[in-house]
Amino acid sequence: MRWLSRPLGTRAMGSLLWPWLCAASVAVSLLMLATLLTLLATRGLGHFWPASLEEVTLHSGETVIGQPVREAPLPNAAGMERLYFTGNRDIDGTRWRWVAIDDIAEKSVPDEIVRLERTPWGDFIGRLSSVERAGERLEGDAAWAFVTTALALPDSQRPEAQLHLTTANGQRVIQPLSGVTLFQTPNAMSWVQKTAAWSQRIWQFLSEGPRAANTGGGVWPAIFGTVLMVILMSVIVTPFGVLAAIYLNEIAHQNRLTRLVRIGVRNLAGVPSIVYGVFGLGVFVYGIGGSIDSWFFEEALPSPTFGTGGLLWASLTLALLTLPVVIVATEEGLARIPDAQREGAVALGATRLEMLTRVVLPMATPAMLTGVILAVARAAGEVAPLMLVGVAKLAPQMPVDGEFPYLHLERKFMHLGYHLFDTAFHGEDVQAAIPLVFATALLLVLIVLVLNLTAIFLRHYLRRQRGNEC
């Protein structure tokens, strides 16, 4: 009660309370970060969990089968309504259904409801009535057993068959078995089965291409494109960045000009990425790419070969963008090496080249590695410049294939970040694509965070191993 017994002026009160506001801003930042990551993790991973499907009978007699998504207040009346994901876009024309909660007469969770994923129409939710195989008709348990064994086989060995399905309102649908990619009865599954199905679907997401206008399937081409672009970029940026850093720190005379150049390089790290994109489009794509086209690919003109965005130009642009990161990190590493080491090497008769390659560079390796990893992390998350120099919504061909010359530098490629942007903002059914967008976002954040953490730990570990002087 010290505070109450002694009258305090407003200024003293302020100096007591301000620290708390400052502490709160740390707490708020951490809270925002935690919220963002939790949101991404739950929504991104939760989508793959086989959610139970409800069968709802309305007062009007209509039945709806679907997965409850969320609830919201009714727009013009009291009460709530619930959004169901009902699938069956080929039959109903939509995948969603709002149901007012007061309209619901009966709700149940029957075990025999199936959920199919099929090409081309996406999800089907309903019941399996029978299976027709080579004129023979299987019903009941036989049908179930047949479907489960058939789907366990790889695509090429599956038998020809037709599934006879019934929707919630009794409409019959015939679905060839060859178009089915997933067959689930989520209500009948145990925890173990659900976990197995969950990990299988995550694997599908990572290893397959997008389907059904990005509302199904996976992101494998985007992962591949991102990784390939980043590898090419680091192959370009590492030697040049290291070269420039060695020149600035070891060879150039340390005068006013070098200091200015150093400040300039440092500042380039702060120049907006879109400016690099503009440079890449103007110089690499239209300038160099246009010239290459008119020299070597004249027969293909006016359709451009290198004169349009592509893998090579994207990697070059991002290499330029991340050059300052590598230069600054390497320079810091070089500056931390004591001059005694260099003088010692030279005193023992080494030339400058030998001093650099045998003494200085090995000591600066952790710094260089850190720089490259940070550059990779920055490049993996950067989207704006790519929109100008070569990313594609849906690349028809992968940039690497069996055709000569195997690596096609002029092809457009898919990128995780751009895939996310495109699906979320230009998709035809954004609502249905959002869960996959969350999963993509989670993947992107994980990649970038893991790269950054690797850089931090690598720096820490190597510094400790080599002692404090480097």
Partner 1 sequence: MTPPRLPLSRQPLRLIHDRIATGLITAGGIGVLLAILAIGVFLVWETLPLLAFGDALSLNTLSPLAWGTLKAALAAMLFATPIALGAAMYSALFMSPRLRSRVKPILELMEAIPGVVVGFIAGLLLAPWVERHLASTLLVIVWLPLSAALAGSLWYLASARLRQCLPLSWAGIWLMPWLAMMATLALWLAPLMEQAWFGGDLRRMLDQQYGLDYATRNALIVGIAMGFAVIPSIYSLAEDALADVPANLMEGAQALGASRWQALWKVALPTAGPGVFSAVMIGAGRAVGETMIVLMASGNTALFSASPFEGLRSLSASIAIELPEASPGGITYHLLIFAALALFIFTFLVNTLAEVVRQRLRQRYQRLGGNR
Where in 419-458 is the site for partner 1 (CB under 8 A)? 420-421, 424-425, 430, 434, 437, 441, 444-445, 448-449, 452-453, 456
Closer CB to partner 1, 179 or 282, in the complex: 282
Closer CB to partner 1, 219 or 441, in the complex: 441
Q: Which of residues 6-25 bind partner 1 (CB under 8 A)?
A: 15-25
Closer CB to partner 1, 109 or 453, in the complex: 453
* Interface pick for partner 1 out of 243, 300, 335, 340 (rule CB under 8 A): 243
The stretch among 167-175, 258-266, 332-340, 360-368 that binds partner 1 (CB under 8 A) is 258-266
The stretch among 100-108, 222-230, 244-252, 392-400 that binds partner 1 (CB under 8 A) is 244-252
* Interface pick for partner 1 out of 210, 217, 277, 310 (rule CB under 8 A): 277
SS (H, E, C) the chain: CHHHHCCCCHHHHHHHHHHHHHHHHHHHHHHHHHHHHHHHHHHHHHCCCCCCCEEEEECCCCEEEEEEEEEEECCCCCCEEEEEECCCHHHHCCCEEEEEHHHEEEEECCCCEEEEEECCCEEEEEEEEEEEECCEEEEHHHHHHHHHHHHHCCHHHCCCCEEEEECCCCCEEEEEHHHEEEEECHHHCCHHHHHHHHHHHHHHHHHCCEECCCCEECCHHHHHHHHHHHHHHHHHHHHHHHHHHHHHHHHCCCCHHHHHHHHHHHHHCCCCHHHHHHHHHHHHHHHHHHHHHHHHCHHHCCCCCCCCCCHHHHHHHHHHHHHHHHHHHHHHHHHHCCHHHHHHHHHCCCCHHHHHHHHHHHHHHHHHHHHHHHHHHHHHHCCHHHHHHCECCCCCCCCECCCCCCECCCCCECCHHHHHHHHHHHCCCHHHHHHHHHHHHHHHHHHHHHHHHHHHHHHHHHHHHCCCCC
CB of 248 to partner 1, least distance (A): 6
Distance separating alpha carbons of residues 392 and 423, to the nearest angstrom: 12
Q: Is 252 in the site for partner 1 (CB under 8 A)?
A: yes
**Nearest Cα residue to 333 out of 291, 309, 312, 362:** 362
Closer CB to partner 1, 268 or 458, in the complex: 268
Q: Is 261 in the site for partner 1 (CB under 8 A)?
A: yes
Size of the site for partner 1 (CB under 8 A): 96
Q: Give the HSE-up count for residue 303: Cα atoms under 13 Å, Cβ half-sphere.
A: 2
Q: Is 78 in the site for partner 1 (CB under 8 A)?
A: no
* Interface pick for partner 1 out of 151, 213, 265, 400 (rule CB under 8 A): 265
Q: Is 180 in the site for partner 1 (CB under 8 A)?
A: no
The stretch among 109-117, 119-127, 137-145, 282-290 that binds partner 1 (CB under 8 A) is 282-290
Q: Which of residues 31-70 bind partner 1 (CB under 8 A)?
A: 31-34, 36, 39-40
* Interface pick for partner 1 out of 64, 150, 244, 364 (rule CB under 8 A): 244
Q: Which of residues 83-112 bind partner 1 (CB under 8 A)?
A: none
Print the binding letters for residues 320-359 with partner 1: x by CB under 8 A, - otherwise: x--xx--x--------------------xx-xxxx-x---
**Nearest Cα residue to 129 out of 116, 144, 117:** 144
* Interface pick for partner 1 out of 85, 121, 183, 279 (rule CB under 8 A): 279
* Interface pick for partner 1 out of 135, 154, 270, 396 (rule CB under 8 A): 270
The stretch among 55-63, 167-175, 226-234, 414-422 that binds partner 1 (CB under 8 A) is 414-422
Cis peptide before 405 (omega within 30 of 0): yes
Q: Are 334 and 370 in contact (CB under 8 A)?
A: no
Closer CB to partner 1, 30 or 145, in the complex: 30
Closer CB to partner 1, 28 or 335, in the complex: 28
* Interface pick for partner 1 out of 288, 363, 384, 458 (rule CB under 8 A): 384
* Interface pick for partner 1 out of 150, 388, 432, 436 (rule CB under 8 A): 388
* Interface pick for partner 1 out of 3, 295, 404, 406 (rule CB under 8 A): 3
Number of Cβ within a 10 Å radius of residue 333? 27
Closer CB to partner 1, 232 or 447, in the complex: 447
Sole residue written with tokens 């009966």 = 106
Q: Is 182 in the site for partner 1 (CB under 8 A)?
A: no
Closer CB to partner 1, 27 or 145, in the complex: 27
CB of 424 to partner 1, least distance (A): 5
Please report, in angstroms and rounded to a whole number, the separation of the first and last CA atoms in the chain: 53
